[in-house]
Structure 1
Amino acid sequence: MAKRKLSNSQIVCFTLLWGILCYMLLTYSKEITSETIFAIIASGIIVFVPIYKNIRSRNGNKS
């Protein structure tokens, strides 16, 4: 699979969308359970690990 470089605006959009979805999950759930916490942590890993790798590779190419 080809690697795609993310722009700063795309990273901000992904972060804001993830934050809004987490807020909605916490607001509309009747109670906060371990499944809710797991969903937030797992989605955070899915969203932020590729962003971290993209930023790290972007900074590594400039040196």
Structure 2
Amino acid sequence: MRRPLSKSQSVCIVLLWAALCYIVLTTAERIDGPVIMTLVISAALVFIPVIKSLKRG
């Protein structure tokens, strides 16, 4: 079993995801369905493990 993420690691992961979203949204020619779905899916891939890790730790 892996060690849970520390709070500082969780914050870094969330901030990196937010920076990625900012870059995607500011450089996209159009903000349409596929862009939004990509951001939603990436949010799920980031936040579900982070939340689970915080609950365990």
Shorter-chain TM-score range: over 0.9
Distance, in Å, in 2 between the alignment partners of 1:7 and 1:35 is 33
RMSD: 0.9
Which residue of the partner structure matches residue 36 of structure 1?
Answer: 35
Structure 1 stretches of 4+ with a deviation exceeding 6 A read none
The one-character-per-residue Cα deviations of 1:7-62 (angstroms, maximum 9, x if unpaired) are 1111011000000000000000001010000010000000000011111122xxxx
Q: Which TM-score applies when normalising by structure 1?
A: 0.84
Q: Which TM-score applies when normalising by structure 2?
A: 0.92
What are structure 1's unaligned runs of at least 5 residues? Answer: 59-63
* Count of residue pairs brought into register by the alignment: 57
Which residue of the partner structure matches residue 53 of structure 2?
Answer: 54
What are structure 2's unaligned runs of at least 5 residues? Answer: none
